[in-house]
């Protein structure tokens, strides 16, 4: 009998959500995603410390932003030696509300990859799905730089990303689940809210259905999982990016992973289109307490880890 991971691969592209090279070698994902938190976690391990030290040593005159980007690209290049597909590399979250700075930083990251001989199609530039981030992605996509819009919690964000023709979005299942569970408090019923009834799963399913109904090419990659049940409930999603612990659990569990998501049959009524003018979009996001709060919180957390990474780079220079 096949494992759940093998079965899942029949319907969905499996992506590793980690900076750990050994996990990738063992579990053979197609793609890999990174973020400031994952890179920070990796460089604090003895096995990966030499990468940070080499970046600092080889670029003594570089400022912190350049050092950070060179470190991210160093990780990305190593990852691409392992996975056959793409790596996602994130723009500094401190630029999440600055369209121009995001575009420039993304161009710089892509230039570093291309200087190392990495073709564009193997890199996704991760950007927070703020209004400013989505507009930056619109510019970059027009230039042939593929983007992965992250910290995505609502259909409004997803619809704007589709209009900007981004390559891929990463709706965060687990963080949506976290918000609803905390908000419900003592009224939360874990069994009743599991699997297809999980609010995070339902959010991704709505986005997937919207995209397929309108023939949108942007890829949907469920992210930020808390348990295997959430993953299996999204079998059939274009991609799923999964942490090492959950990848191992799937790999060690015999069983099936039947398709749960699929395009609606022809003739099915389409959902109402989402308004995409800036004011209307901001109003929609503001009305969604969960999406507004989790987007802001996610940016703050990534900024905090970016600052910790800055401190490690500065220590490396000492």
Domain locations along the chain:
4-316
Q: Kindly report, residue by residue over 79-114, the tens digit of the pLDDT.
A: 999 999 999 999 999 999 999 999 999 999 999 999
Interatomic CA distance for residues 36 and 149, integer angstroms:
15
Across the range 287-308, mean pLDDT stands at: 97
Architecture of domain 4-316: Alpha-Beta Barrel (3.20)
Quick: pLDDT tens for 233-258: 999 999 999 999 999 999 999 999 99
Contacts (Cβ under 8 Å, ≥6 apart) of 30: 13, 14, 15, 83, 84, 85, 239
Q: Give the up-direction half-sphere exposure of residue 128: CA atoms within 13 A in the CB hemisphere.
A: 26
Average the pLDDT over 148-154 and give the result: 98
* Average confidence (pLDDT) over 146-155: 98
- CA-based torsion, 177, 180, 182, 186: positive or negative: negative
Q: How distant is the alpha carbon of residue 99 from its chain centre?
A: 19
Query: For 24-46, how does the pLDDT look when each residue is reduced to its tens digit (9 = 90+)?
Result: 999 899 999 988 788 889 989 99
Which among 41, 126, 248, 294 is annotated as catalytic? 126
Confidence of residue 269 (pLDDT cuts 50, 70, 90): confident
Question: Known catalytic residue: 308?
Answer: no
pTM as predicted: 0.96
**Average pLDDT across the chain, whole number:** 95
Average pLDDT estimate for 55-74: 94
């Amino acid at each position: 009998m096949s494992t759940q991971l093998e079965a899942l691969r029949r319907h969905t592209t499996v992506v590793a959500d980690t900076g750990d090279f050994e996990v990738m070698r063992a579990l053979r994902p197609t793609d890999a995603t990174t973020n400031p938190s994952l890179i920070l976690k990796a460089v604090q391990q003895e096995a990966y410390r030499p990468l940070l030290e080499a970046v600092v040593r080889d670029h003594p005159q570089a400022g912190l932003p350049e050092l950070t980007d060179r470190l991210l690209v160093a990780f990305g290049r190593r990852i691409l030696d392992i996975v056959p597909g793409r790596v996602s590399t994130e723009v500094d979250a401190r630029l999440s509300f600055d369209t121009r700075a995001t575009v420039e930083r993304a161009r710089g990251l892509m230039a570093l990859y291309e200087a190392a001989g990495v073709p564009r199609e193997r890199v996704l530039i991760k950007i927070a799905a703020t209004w400013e981030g989505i507009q930056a992605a619109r510019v970059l996509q027009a230039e042939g730089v593929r983007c992965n819009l992250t910290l995505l919690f609502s259909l409004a964000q997803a619809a704007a990303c589709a209009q900007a023709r981004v390559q891929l979005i990463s709706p965060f299942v687990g963080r949506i689940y976290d918000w609803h569970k905390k908000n419900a408090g003592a009224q939360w019923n874990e069994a009743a809210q599991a699997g297809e009834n999980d609010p995070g799963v339902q959010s991704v399913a709505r986005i997937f259905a919207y995209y397929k109904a309108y023939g949108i090419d942007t890829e949907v990659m469920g992210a930020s999982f808390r348990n295997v049940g959430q993953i299996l409930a999204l079998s059939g999603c274009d991609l799923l990016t999964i942490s090492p612990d959950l990848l191992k659990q799937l790999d060690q569990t015999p069983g099936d992973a039947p398709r749960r998501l699929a395009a609606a049959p022809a003739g099915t009524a389409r959902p109402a289109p989402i308004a995409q003018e800036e004011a209307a979009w901001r109003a929609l996001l503001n009305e969604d307490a969960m999406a507004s709060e989790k987007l802001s919180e996610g940016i703050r957390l990534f900024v905090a880890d970016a600052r910790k990474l800055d401190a490690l780079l500065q220590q490396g220079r000492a």
